[in-house]
Structure 1
C-alpha cells in the first residue's frame, strides 16, 4: 500500500472532529465561539462541510467502477431529503409569516448532512483514506472518553460549552459517584458502534487494544453520559463481538451460534439494567411518562400543513407549539429531540415519512451486497434502535449521520464479489 499522505480533506475532517468534541474542552474559548460551534450551534461545521462538498466536485483519479457502483447507495434518499428540506423551508416561511432568513436560522444544520455525505462518500471509499479516518475518530473518541471520566470524578478541569452539561454541573447531578455530562455521548457512541461493526466484519483487528478501547468508551457512556439507549446498544454489540470471535471456529453451526448470541446478549443487557436500576423509578420513571406524552403530542401535529408538519417556526413566537404542555409536570417541557424518529415526523410530516421509506429501502439494500447478511442485519437494527428515542438529524448529531451511512456502505462491500473491499485490517 502506498504511504498515506495528508490531504486537504484529511485536515478538514480532523477539524470537523475537533469541532464535534469542542477541542476536547481542554481550553476555555471566547464566548463568541459558542455561537459558532457548540452542542446546538453548528455554523462552523456547516461551513467546513460546504468546503468539503465543493472540493469533492473537483475530478479525481479514483476508480470509475468504484464510483459507479457506490454513488447510488444512499443518493436517492439523500437527494430527496434535500428537496423536502427546501420545500419545508419555504413552506414554513409562508405558513408562519417568517422571513426565509429566520426560518434558515431554525434549520440550517440540516444542510450539514447532504453536504458532508456527498462530499465524503467517494473519498472514504478508498482504503488509504478510510484508514486515516479510522485513526482520527478512534483516537479522538478514546481521548474524550478518558478526559470526561476524569473530569466527572473532579480529577481534572475541563471547560464544557454544551448548555445541558453546564446545567447538569450547576445542579450537581451525579450518579454512581460520577457527574453527568451528556454532550460527548453522541460521538463516543458513534466510535463504539463503528469499532464493533468493523470488528464484526473482520475489518478491524480484534485484540487487547480493541477490548481496552471499547471498555473505555462503554464506561464513559454508562458512568458519565448515562444515556440508557447508547449504553445498552454499545454493550450488546461489544458482547456480540466477543461471542462471535469465540465461536468463529465452529463454522458449520455458525448460524445457530449467531441466534443464540443475539438472545443471550439481549438477556445479559436486560439483567444488567435491572440489577443496576438503570431504568429505575423516580426521575427515570417520570422521564418515560413525559416521553410518551411528547410522542402523542408531536404526532398530533404531523399533518398540520398537509405535506409537512410543524416545520421550523421561530421559538420566540411559537414557544407553546414547539414545547407543548405536559399534564404530568403542568408545564411546557416537551423537546422534539427527545422522541427520536417521532420528532422528525412531527417536523416533516408526510414528506418526512416518504423520506424514511426511501432511506430504509436504501439502508436494507446494503444487506444483500454482503456475504454476512445476518451480522449486517444485526448492525443495521442496532443503529436504527437509536432512532426511537434520539432524533438522528438534530443539531448535536447531524454531523455523524453521513459517517454512519458511509460506514454502512463500506461494511456492505462483499469480500468475494467486490475487488475494492478493504483488505488491510485497521
Structure 2
C-alpha cells in the first residue's frame, strides 16, 4: 500500500512540475494536466483518499488526527452550497459548474496526507522528493534562461498550458509560473532541516532556489516569504549555535541598513514598484476594486462559479484581463462570499491555536503558519495551481502538532 502511495505521490509532484518541462506531451494531456487544468491531479488525489480509507482499516501503528476537520467540514459544506447556488442562479449545467470548481476536491487529499505523513519514513521520502525535484527543476530553468539570453535557444516546453511564455522586460528575463512550487519546496526543505541536520548540500540547494525566485521568477511576495522563512528557521533553531544566530541577526540588520542607502533603495524601488512593476501594481489595485465588489455579489454567497463559457466578462472584468489568482485571499472571498470569510478566519484561528498549544515542533508550525498567512496576501491557495499545497501543509501541521498530554511518554516527529 505504501509503495503504491509513494508511486502516486511521485507522479503527482512530477505533474506539478510538468515532468521538468523537458518533454512536450500530446495536446490531450494538457487538457487534463496543464498549468490550469487539474483533472489528473484531482483524480490522483481522490485515488489517494480511497487508499487512505483502506489503509486506516489495515494500519496497526498510530495515525495522527486531522486537526483541521472543522475548517475542512465548513469548507466542503460551503463548496456544496455555492455549487448548487451557482447552478441555479446562472442557469448553467452541472458539468459547466463542475468545470469551474472541480479542482477544489483536491482538498480531500488532506485526509490521506495526514495518514501518510504519520509514517516517519514516508515523510522523509516526501521531503527528499521535493528537495531533489525542485533543485533539479530550478537548475534547468536557470540554465534555460541563460541559454535563451545569450543564444536565443529554447529547449524546455514553453506553452500557455505549461511554463507560459518567457517575458523579456526592462529589468530582465522573467519566468514566473514555477515560482509557487519553488517557494513551497523551500518550506518543505526547511522542515526537513528541522527534522534532521543541516548539510552543505542543503544550503546549496536553498541558494539555487532562492536565486531562481530573485532573478528568474521575480515574484515579489515569494521572494519576501522565502527570506522570512529562512531567517526564522535559523534564528529559532536549537541546532544553530548562538554565534550563528547572532551572525544572522547582525547580518539582517546590516542588510536592512544597506537597503536604506540611496542607490540600493532606488534599485529596489524600481525592481519592485516602478516601471513595468508599477503598472503591474496598478493593475492589481484595479483587480482588487473589481473583485471586492463581488464578495456580496449574490447576497452572502459571493460570485460563485459562473461558467467562463457564458460569463467570461463577469469572471475576468470588462476587458477580460482580471484574474482572482492575482489578488490573494480577496479572490477567494469574491467566489465564496461570507462563507469564504468565515472559513478563512476559522482556518487562521486553528493555525494559531494549535501553534500556541503544541508542546514541541513549534518552529515547524511557525514556518507553516507564516507561509500560509503571508502567501494569502497575494497568492491564495484556492487557485488550481496551489490547492494541493494547502492540503499538504494542513496535513503537515496536524502531524507536527503535539498536545501536551501526548508528549508525555511519546517522541514527537
- Residue 328 of structure 1 corresponds to none
Correspondent of 1:191 among 177, 180, 185: 185
Evaluate the alpha carbon distance shift between residue 259 and residue 222 of structure 1 in structure 2; reply closer, same or farther with a 3 A threshold: closer
**Structure 1 residue 236: deviation in Å?**
2.7
Secondary structure, in 3 states, of the residue corresponding to 2:147?
coil
Tell me, yes or no, if structure 1 residue 361 matches structure 2 residue 357.
no
Q: Determine the structure 1 residue equivalent to 2:43.
A: 47
Displacement, 1:287?
1.4
For 1:40 and 1:236, locate their aligned partners in 2 and report how far apart those are by CA, in whole Å.
Answer: 28
**In the alignment, does 2:185 pair up with 1:231?**
no
Structure 1 position 419, deviation (Å): 1.8
Counterpart contact for 2:288–2:330, Cα < 8 Å: yes
Deviation for aligned residue 1:282: 1.4
The number of residue pairs the alignment matches comes to 398
User: Is 1:211 equivalent to 2:203 in the alignment?
Assistant: yes
Distance 1:212 1:259 in 2: 17
Given candidates 73, 95, 103, the residue that maps to 1:109 is: 103
Q: 1:128 to 1:293 in 2, by over 3 A?
A: same
The SS at the match of 1:173 is strand
The CA RMSD over aligned residues, in Å, is 3.0
Aligned mates of 1:283, 1:96 — CA distance in 2: 37
Alignment of 1:348 onto 2:348: no
Q: Which residue of 2 aligns with 1:309?
A: 302
Q: Secondary structure at the match of 1:318?
A: helix
Higher mean Cα deviation, 15-24 or 367-376?
A: 367-376
| Distance change >3 Å, CA 187–CA 62, structure 1 → 2 | farther
Say if 2:8 is the partner of 1:37.
no
Distance 1:262 1:123 in 2: 39
- Separation of aligned partners in 2, 1:375 and 1:262: 23
Give unpaired runs (5+ residues) of structure 1. 326-330
> Please, which of 7, 15, 36 is the counterpart of residue 11 of structure 1?
7
The 5 A counterparts of 1:13-412 are 13-58=9-54, 59-64=57-62, 67=63, 70-114=64-108, 116-154=109-147, 157-163=155-161, 165-166=163-164, 168-169=165-166, 172-174=167-169, 177=172, 179-199=173-193, 202-244=194-236, 248-250=240-242, 264=253, 267=256, 275-276=267-268, 277-325=270-318, 331-367=319-355, 368-371=357-360, 373=362, 376-377=365-366, 379-412=368-401
Q: Is the 8 A contact 2:134 2:181 kept in 1?
A: yes
Deviation digits for residues 251-288 of structure 1, max 9, x if unmatched?
Answer: 9xx9xx79968974994796677644321311211111
Gaps of 5+ in 2: 149-153
In the TM superposition, what whole-angstrom CA distance separates every residue of 1:380-415 from its partner, at most 9, and x where no partner exists? 124311111112111111121111212223443379
**Counterparts of 1:401 and 1:233, CA distance in 2:** 16
Q: Which deviations, in whole Å up to 9, do the C-alpha atoms of 1:192-247 show, x marking residues without a partner?
A: 12222443xx3132121111010011111112211111112112322344445699
Q: Could you list the per-position Cα deviations for residues 314-342 of structure 1 after superposition, in whole angstroms to 9, with x for gaps in the alignment?
A: 122212211224xxxxx442211100000
Go from structure 1 to structure 2 and tell me whether the alpha carbon gap of 1:20 and 1:378 turns closer, same or farther (over 3 Å shift). closer
> Structure 2 CA distance, aligned partners of 1:284 and 1:373?
37
Distance (whole Å) between structure 1 residues aligned to residue 257 and residue 184 of structure 2 = 22
Relative distance call for 1:262 and 1:416 in structure 2 (3 A) is farther
Residue aligning to 2:412: 421
- CA shift, 1:250, in A, is 4.3
Q: Could you tell me how far apart the structure 1 residues matched to 2:301 and 2:251 are?
A: 38
